[in-house]
Structure 1
Amino acid sequence: MRTSECELTNSSAQWQLLLDRAASPMALLDPYGHFVHVNDALCSVLGYGRDSLLNRPLADFTVGEVRGDGAVADRRFRRSDATTLWMRQSTSPILDPDGKPDLLLTQFHEIADRPETNVLWCRVFANAPIGMALLDLDGRWTDVNDAWCDLLGYSRQEMLGLRYSDVTYARDQENGSAALADLVEGKQTTVSLKKRYRHRDGHPIWVLVRTSVVTGPDERPAYLVSQCEELSERCVSDAHLAHLALHDPLTGLANRALLADRLAHGLAELERDGGVVAVLVADLDELKPVNDTYGHAAGDRLLTTTADELLNAARPGDTVARIGGDEFAVISTHPDVRAAEEFRDRIAQRLRIERETPDYRLRIRASVGLATTTDPATPPQVLLHEADRDMYRRKHGMRSSAGEAPSCPSCHSRELRATAR
């Protein structure tokens, strides 16, 4: 049975002044190893406030096996920021009037990390045949091994400037964000996801990612450890293969085949539900200058950022697609033409933004055309063609006002009609 808190407080009072004046980390423990009093030096070393330590067992703040006997022992402590350090613990008993240990006076001295521990961890992490990474609770990579870099095509320095979401396809973001939230909130200790990462060259990679949470001394999540391995074609489910067949590999948006199917479905529902089917076509104005100036990786980032903006602006049930190199489309239903035009204006506004990157300012500019119909018999290719023509009229109008010579839209329209057939 533990000594009462009142008894401990009375017995330790004479020692507290000594501890508080000491420059080295010191603590008073009860016979069961719980902190009774800690000085500022120990709080500073571990990164915890005094209230976070008091009445907690010393074992809550140590990692792994304790080396040594009761009087002198080496412990590896976990700081509040999830880093660790080795300290040597020297303990002397404080006896009560009956000669029994009442309190333990403990001094701590920082020592070098045990070499066998560091070497073992470094070897396991660096030489693992699969990708291994550490992440903070925001999903930013804080360390990655060579296998992880080889898998995604990035250097280690590039990887450490990214979050996992930066190389995850938009359609896979929801599951990844939900899994991260479950880990951070303590609802799960380990999650496994099949997902797509975007290789540095732009192509998709199907991977299995297992992520586990590592808790701090306060038993709350401190950081994450991930293992990642590429899935072979045999491991990818039929649903994933179907997804690849109907989606753009770079942005994860619907491709032309899926867009045509969704448009036909939307037209078929007009007779039953009424309203207006709207087709928007958006064409980026500055993809080629970005590719020429900063390289195709920057161009890919421009495309994926545009895709994300369109997805954020779209409503549930809308279809967002990439239908060409720098051309996107959105299919949406509205109660009337005015609502469809307002939706087009919102999309156009979302596609006039700037984003800062570590190397350059990403500038998105796009021309957005609109076509609408209330007739279920309208051929899908006619709607796409009219939206495309409206987009080119708007693009040419902006260029003319800026003193630029417009390009010929007829060839582009013929290509669009041919593809739609």
Structure 2
Amino acid sequence: MTLAPPPGFRTLLLVDDEPALLNALKREFRSAPYEVLTATSGEEALAVLADRDVQVILSDYRMPGMSGVEFLAQARALRPDAVRMVLSGYADIGAVIAAINQGNIYKFLNKPWDGEELRAVTAQAFAHHALVRRGAQFSQIFENTSEGIFILDREGRFETVNGAFCAITGYSEADIVGQDHHCLLLPQPGRPTPEFMQELADGGHWRGELWLQRRDGQVFPAALTLSPVCDGNRRLVQVVGLCADITERKGREIALLESEKRFRDFMEFAPVGMAIVNLDGRLGKVNQALCQILGYSREALERLSFEDLTPDEDLAADLAMWRRLRQGEMPVWQAEKRYLRSDGSPVWVELTAAVLRSTQGVAQCFDVQVKDISERRRDQEKIRQLAYFDALTGLPNRRLLQDRLEQALLRARRHQQQVGVLFLDLDHFKQVNDVHGHEVGDELLSAAARRLTRCVRQGDTVARQGGDEFIVVLAEVGAPAGVIRAAETIIASLAAPYELGQARIRVDVITASVGIALFPAHGSDSQTLMKHADLAMYAAKQAGRNGYRIYDEGLAPGG
């Protein structure tokens, strides 16, 4: 069974009309961290592109029928974001120009190729593709968000603004780019104009509320968030800013101070939870939406304080933020945090709190808004699961595996310990999948994943590499014998019979071939360890399967 790669998996398409050369090319990438597809003609390659998301294409130049350049030109129309490269022994200047003009080629490589250079250039092509795609995603966010976004240079001049920022300030992009940011700041008698560039140059962030003036002179209150962008020497290069018109919220604050009745009516019908909180933290007035979020009656809730609603582990940090807010160290506190419902269960909320002050500037109470974001947090958790975990087995995927392996190596270097990397493949899986079908095959993979998880310690990692391949990272290993015992336990566990499917089909042909690589003996970095464990696994499979093999230099290509 050929399983579709997980989301975010990288794919390379090799195109050459000579099967021997195509196989030699494919061997160059046998240890690469991406899927390799092949095609022997331009027509066949276009069919692959129509069905699969391919990030990098490496094509021969001279092929019978459709030439490499003709193919790449059509590939560009079919997959415009794929990075296209030519590999050919026919490299005159006319060929190069044709390839660049018609196919928009990233690199033109010559035959015979240098394997190390070929792999390095291909890795660069994948990195280039990721960079371009991230840039396109950022551009979509930048242009389509409803919040004003701007970028200042190191001198405080506008470099870039989005459409929302122009709508808020009344400036067109052409009007404001190149102007100093002070053109928006409204001088206030008795109060110095805020100079936040120095604070940002020191590596800090700035968040606050200011009175700004639009291009037509109209004054409005705005919430600004400014973050520095620094170079490798921690020198300020740019400032990224977010700007929101808070006229509506400021108007609400004034209304709250001017009319208790209007405030009560406003609170009662507001779609978000609202409260007036006394300076000692006790809830003075609450609305029905907040009662629904927290599961209390109005009378019960108004007898509590926010300390009563805060989990013990969050209390110290929350009290510090309330104190900073009251003392004027920050104009507003915005956070995603947990509160406790009446039944003791946690609820995730988006909190916005500000201090209401008298005309003399004396703090009177806190104006608090609470929005239930439980559904959004669940959606974020689902996104995290999709990004870092395999959808079928629930095991960490390649991305999370890489992070955990790097962390294990950092700890091992710090404490002079070893790390074991086990690369394993289920023997005879294709036979089971072909005989009993994909559903049974998927159930077998899930059952194998559960067995693997039971074979390791809590601090170890079991990940699905793809298909019927799994990776086990044994952290904080004292001696190689411990890794060998773990491998033997895994092999024995996976070899036990399975009962699968609604018919409870007994499957007793599954075994495992395991390759072992140890840090630091067999590699000092994650890529090398994964590669060597993979080589050892293939050696175990060639030796008869249902066993393990520890990497040695004789397994390396040419060894």
The question of a shared fold, defined as TM-score above 0.5 by the shorter chain, is answered with no
Normalised by the length of structure 1, the TM-score is 0.38
The structure whose RCO (Cα within 8 Å, separation 6+) is larger is 1
Normalised by the length of structure 2, the TM-score is 0.29
